Amino acid sequence: MDIADHNDQALTRDSLYGTAAEATYAGITSFMRRRYSRDLQGVDLVVSGVPFDTATSNRPGARFGPRGIRAASTAIAWERHWPWTFDPFDHLSVIDYGDCAFDPGLPQSVPERIEAHARRILDAGCAMLTLGGDHFISYPLLKAHHRHHGPLALIHFDAHSDTWPDEEGQRIDHGTMFWHAAREGLVDPTRSVQIGLRTTNDDHQGFKVLDARQVHQLGCEAIVAAIRQRVGDHPVYLTFDIDCLDPAFAPGTGTPVCGGLSSAQALEILGGLRGINLVGMDLVEVAPAYDHAEITSLAGATLAMEMLCLYAARRKVDC
């Protein structure tokens, strides 16, 4: 078939399944060239953006993350995701739903809008891969997923614990979400694990911590085994803050911390989790304004695809 027949697949593809090549430098930048749509009928998984970054404590700019990740994803959308032996798009119907809408001038209303956005998608029977935005967005997303799945096991890749206390309960802050999530029963800390941490917080709310030094010293295989033992077959929400990667691999983020994981380590650990009961996922804190040659956006898009493959491998028995 002529490549022109596949131009702008975000609009022109006649099926929600399959992968086809088109110019990676041209066309509409939906995630992995999936069809832009708000029609949830017959959809297995929705990719959606939450361009919110006013909860950040350092450099803003993650509101441009969904756009940056989508644009970078077009460069890898022409073939099956390596090293997986199947194409998830042959087994899952996936759309790009666009972005969550909210009024940034009414900040206290934003969490509710994000949760309602997620509920609309989940209530239609679709799974979600969400592109942030700063990490606060995980909190309303967890609320929506908890409504469907009950208390969740959390697999959390990050440089920061995000369990700093908020005794007043009023902060919209990307460092307090998992303090709230643990205390509200959205996640079960005894089944949850944080990977790659390298900042100081003495109260981890009961989460198991596999910090960056442990990843470097123990190796990916041991880290995968520890994660699997922790979460078992419990429903898992997977959240990946791009600053889990060392700034050498992800400079385009708001709160970079030296000593982090390489892209290869992160991908190896994620790939080793095949078979976990993954029910929801997000990729957050990509801030393209601080990026160099789109390497952070590309890392974000690649990690997001790894998550999508994990979801497909569990849900589609013929994979």
**Into how many domains does the chain fold?**
1
* pLDDT given for residue 5 in this prediction: 54
- 309 closest CA partner among 262, 263, 267: 267
Residue 204: the pLDDT is 85
pLDDT of residue 314: 87
What DSSP designation does 275 have? T
Domain of 86, CATH number, reads: 3.40.800.10
Query: In sequence order, what are the beta bridge partners of 154?
Result: 237
Residue 317 pLDDT: 52
By residue count, the chain amounts to: 319
C-beta separation of 159 from 199 below 8 A: yes
pLDDT at 202: 84
Q: What is the pLDDT of residue 170?
A: 81
Residue 243, annotated as binding a ligand: yes
Sign of the alpha-carbon dihedral angle for 34, 40, 44, 46: positive
Which residue, 123, 140, 101, 103, is CA-closest to 237? 140
Determine the 3-state secondary structure of 108 from DSSP: helix
Residue 2 labeled ligand binder? no
145 is in an annotated binding site: no
The pLDDT assigned to 318 comes to 52
pLDDT of residue 319: 47
What is this structure's pTM? 0.93
Segments of the chain with pLDDT less than 70: 1-6, 316-319
Is 96 flagged in the annotation as binding?
no
User: Is 81 one of the annotated binding-site residues?
Assistant: no
Element (H, E) at 284: strand 278-284
Helix 263-271 vs helix 295-315: crossing angle, to nearest 10: 10
160 is in an annotated binding site: yes
Q: Which domain holds residue 273?
A: 3-315
Main-chain phi, psi angles of 107, to 5 degrees: -60, -35
DSSP letter at 44 equals S
- pLDDT exceeding 90 applies to what percent of the chain? 82
